[in-house]
Amino acid sequence: MVFEIAQIEIVAGKAEEFEAGVSQAIPLFMRARGCNGVKLHRTIEHSGRYLLVVEWTTVEDHMVHFRASSDFQEWRRLVGPFFQTAPVVVHTELAVHSGQFI
């Protein structure tokens, strides 16, 4: 299990439309091979900055299979117009964890 963590900066004034686009795109992720969950975090201190966190079984499920899919094109069609800059993406694995997160 790995996490895609993408920092996304949104065009000013487009937060509501962006969030609606992500909500609409949830099924694209949830039906993708190896995708186990999606969270969109809204940053409290920085207006227009978000963290998209997607849990994948492997990095390849994201970078190879999802990125090559038509659902990725649809994802970008839904939310790409609201990007201020290109998202900055990393992948992580859990080193330590405790407690229940939703």
Nearest distance, CB of residue 25 and its own copies, angstroms: 9
Residue 75 found at the interface with its own copies (CB under 8 A)? no
**How many residues does this entry show for the chain?**
102
- Please classify residue 4 by burial: count the beta carbons closer than 10 Å to its beta carbon, then call 0-12 exposed, 13-18 middle and 19+ buried: buried
62-to-36, 53, 66 alpha-carbon distances in Å: 11, 12, 5
Binding its own copies by CB under 8 A: which of 31, 43, 73, 77? Answer: 43
Binding its own copies by CB under 8 A: which of 46, 64, 73, 85? Answer: 46
Binding mask 7-36 for its own copies (x = CB under 8 A): ------------x--xx--x--xx----xx
Residues 6+ away with beta carbon under 8 Å from 48: 9, 10, 11, 12, 14, 15, 84
Binding its own copies by CB under 8 A: which of 33, 51, 69, 74? Answer: 51
Residue 92 found at the interface with its own copies (CB under 8 A)? yes
